[in-house]
Amino acid sequence: MNISEAIRARRSIRRYKPGVEIPREDFQKILEAAMMAPSACNSRPWEFVVVTDRQILEGITKGMTYTQMLKTASAAIIVCGLPQAQAGISEGFWPQDCGAAIENILLQALDLGYGTCWCGVYPRESNIAAVRQYVETEGVPLAVIAIGVPDESPAPRGHYEESKVRFL
């Protein structure tokens, strides 16, 4: 699959085939892609937590009600920002940098045959607290990404909108 096809094929998947175990090598490839993302001054202000423990996944669904897809997902990748990794001209860009890493996760997972759903955590304090209850991190939980083998094929929701483009 080329990058253009991947961008157009990516969907937010909310139903997964239960009981599928994702090999560690696939997680490593996905996270390597995440860490290839650009970041301000190459500060790499991120940390990734892979969660396969069913109790933790269930717990997150209780604290963040819109993460119910974790009940059938094989795993979640929690992306945490490390604001303290940035100083000077790179300071404060960690949400953007983590966003770039997240998009790489979504596209690499798709290329490996997995579906994903990006669930925002930051900047809502209640979401951050819900994730920190189950995941120890000095970082700021920015997103929970559900991952697994899709059990649905949603139609595309994005499209090009000429009215939102200006050429100067």
The string of DSSP codes covering 6-38 is HHHH--B---B-TTPPPPHHHHHHHHHHHHTS-
Closest CA relative to residue 7, chosen from 110, 102, 99, 79: 110
Under 8 Å between Cβ of 120 and 55: no
* 130-149: pLDDT as tens digits: 999 999 999 999 999 999 99
Whether 162 is covered by a domain: the verdict is: no
Whether 168 is covered by a domain: the verdict is: no
Whether 66 is covered by a domain: the verdict is: yes
Residue 158's pLDDT is what?
Answer: 87
Whether 16 is covered by a domain: the verdict is: yes
Residue 76's pLDDT is what?
Answer: 98
Query: The sheet that has 46-51: what strands, in order across it?
Result: 46-51, 75-81, 140-148, 115-120
Show the low-confidence residues of the chain (pLDDT under 70).
Answer: none
Under 8 Å between Cβ of 15 and 146: no
Whether 59 is covered by a domain: the verdict is: yes
In CATH, what number is assigned to the domain containing residue 132? Answer: 3.40.109.10
pTM, rounded to two decimals: 0.96
Under 8 Å between Cβ of 114 and 22: yes
Range of the domain at 16: 10-148
Whether 153 is covered by a domain: the verdict is: no
Whether 118 is covered by a domain: the verdict is: yes
Residue 1's pLDDT is what?
Answer: 82
Structurally, the chain folds into a number of domains equal to 1
Residue 5's pLDDT is what?
Answer: 94
Whether 167 is covered by a domain: the verdict is: no
